[in-house]
Amino acid sequence: PPYNTGAFRFELTFSPNHPLEPPRATLRTPIYHPSVDPEGRVCQPLTTHVHWEHTTRAVQGGHRGLGGRSAGGAPL
């Protein structure tokens, strides 16, 4: 609680240098959360250059709070 029953829309943006750089995660569902800034940018250690491993896949990030589903509903 309070977010465990909601549906949240995320946008993942991958740079041309991916997988050497982490994707940027933006929450498109307006909510207040301490790990989301006012513009919806998700602030998680996994998505920082310091903690990013080029072998991490977006689906692995999803298990740690980064992922979700694509616009078509397929898992990332």
User: What are the domain boundaries of the chain?
Assistant: 1-55
pLDDT of residue 64 exceeding 50, the answer is no
pLDDT of residue 73 exceeding 50, the answer is no
Q: Enumerate helices (H) and strands (E) in the chain, giving the number of each.
A: 1, 2
CATH 3.10.110.10 describes domain 1-55? yes
Q: CA dist 55 to 4, 19, 44, 48, 75, Å?
A: 29, 7, 17, 14, 18
- Is residue 43 part of the annotated active site? The answer reads yes
Q: What is the distance between the alpha carbons of residues 75 and 72, in angstroms, rounded to a whole number?
A: 9
pLDDT of residue 67 exceeding 50, the answer is no
- Which residue in 43, 54, 57, 70 is the catalytic one? 43
